[in-house]
Amino acid sequence: MDVCIEAPRNTLDGAYTAEAFIKVLDPGAGFATVFNDTVLLPATGEGFSITSDLSAFQGLLLQTGFVVNGINANPDFEAALGGVAVTVIPEPSVYAALLGFAALAWVVVRRRRVA
């Protein structure tokens, strides 16, 4: 299974950095991190992606996201400090599974209406 994270927008003020991550946690070992792939988000306006092969971690918990590091900020100035937009893109088989579940739900609902 591959997971890809893309950030089409990083407009953070220069006092802050953002880092995207893909982690795998093992609930059988106290949710220990058994895989951690990170990428520093590039400067304002530049795109990026991080892709990890997670086929060796089937059955464990996947965590994706990003962290922002920097000085404490006053929420009143949030708009002036910029932001980050991150999108997680699952592999195509995840979309196929979701489409299959949606079709199954439609069949179940339709059968209940007919009965």
pLDDT tens, per residue, the chain with 115 residues: 455 555 556 778 888 888 888 899 999 999 999 999 988 887 655 666 777 888 899 889 988 877 888 888 888 887 788 877 766 666 555 445 556 555 655 555 545 455 5
What global pTM score does this model have? 0.60
Query: Looking at residue 67, what is its pLDDT?
Result: 84
Q: How many CB atoms lie within 10 A of CB 62?
A: 16
Give the number of domains in the chain: 1
| CB 13, CB 92: distance < 8 Å | no
Q: How far apart are CA 95 and CA 82, in angstroms?
A: 32
Integer CA distances (angstroms), 94 to 2, 15, 24, in order: 10, 37, 17
Enclosing domain of residue 59: 2-114
- Which residue matches tokens 């100035």? 77
Q: Which helix (H) or strand (E) holds 101?
A: helix 92-114
